[in-house]
Chain A
């Protein structure tokens, strides 16, 4: 068996081991590579930065245990950003698991808030909790919040929450910040908040979903898009709050480089073998 055949027939577990080393190395020994801010991330940041103080914004928290490491740091950064700008936040989640991770992000953001920033539960922010029904749930929430929920995440009746005074449908919100993760829910926000009510919206999705949602930006239905861990890292960078996403983005770079080398090597070896066989 030639060296080409041996390499082409390499046990896939060797590739897994190499990939593990490539991804773990930058986490154990942080390395910083130069990074540009993507247009979509900057647009999302600029839009959020331009929301007027005192406005109420609705935030969908769609991150799960799998996607929180990617989107969580960005969500935390945006909560800090919004509360620091005196923007009021109304959170909700479309999944049972996402519900808990949204609460985790709020808790993490409150710990990172600069001194003097007001962040009282029920006054500056409220977590409505889990809204079932997927797109139907979003539509119901946009039209009549109290038809879907009586109490918030902590069991407090909505009618006794100061921030919810006079807030019962989409018209109360100045913007929608949709942290959809990998739940594929951004189109629901576009269809139920943006199109019928004209509320401007930005989105966050995992890296693999970015190509699916860029047409919404071109059409003006999304004001910006935060994609995966890189998007989170960029948001951290833009609000000058370096955090965990930046390190993870570097690890992704190393994995990507190794993957690209393997793909190129595999193709070269394939053509060499075909040439040797006279194909």
Chain B
């Protein structure tokens, strides 16, 4: 069996384990969760260490002493593992947050504010532009809080709410579609002709195992809706 096929079969098994949580919390779903967390944690640590080794430790070895500062800050992050040393990790975290914030703010005014306002100033020559302008103005006006909703403002407020609800509906629909795509992505691999029989066998095994667990009371049956 080549490693690719083994990967597909292992992936199918882990996916069935993870999806078994839909029937109710059970030891198999917990096992797959812990397996994923452990593997991902180890992989992230190893990849980051490889990055530090090739781009920091190697530079120090070549005489670029300034990288000692970066290495020291990286190691200080690991002090979170011991509660008494947590204070040390706050310095690199503060530096990271500060630098990140500074770099983001540098262009945020132009990218997220001025450009967006400019893009909303449109000629009212077609229905799309009209919807864009009215939607932006009324939805923004919806968040102007005042005590009385009287006169023209009441209609602006209500129109803004309609636009916001429409936007929430679109976001909800897109989110549902995204979740389908996640499942479909797994199903495509699980239902490949070379894997489908392994998937079916594992489904039967998992179903039998869970049925045994529920019948004997070793796994608690989730009776919610």
> What is the interface of chain A, defined by CB distance below 8 A to chain B?
9-13, 16, 19-20, 23-24, 27-28, 66-70, 96-97, 99, 130, 132-136, 139, 148-151, 155, 182, 187, 190-192, 194-196, 206-211, 215, 218-221, 228-229, 244, 247-248, 251-252, 255-256, 259
Contacts and interface: CB of A to CB of B under 8 A. Distances in A.
A196 B109 CA distance: 12
Contacts of A133: 96, 100
B167 A211 contact: yes
B181 A228 contact: yes
A228 B185 CA distance: 11
A191 B187 contact: no
Contact of A150 (B22, B59, B112): B59
A49 B44 CA distance: 36
Nearest to A232: B181
A99 B180 contact: no
B182 interface: yes
B129 to A, nearest CB: 10
Interface of B: 22-23, 40, 43-44, 47-48, 51, 54-55, 58-59, 96, 99-100, 103-104, 106-108, 110-112, 115-116, 118-120, 132, 167, 170-171, 174-178, 180-189, 191, 224-225
B111 A191 contact: yes
A208 B174 contact: yes
B103 A139 contact: yes
A28 B191 contact: yes
Q: Which 9 A-B pairs have the closest CB atoms?
A: A69-B185, A219-B119, A208-B178, A96-B47, A255-B180, A195-B107, A208-B175, A207-B178, A219-B115
Nearest to B108: A191
A136 B100 contact: yes
Given A207-B177, A215-B119, A248-B181, A155 B54 contact: yes
A182 B177 CA distance: 13
Nearest to A146: B55
Contact of B187 (A16, A24, A130, A190): A24
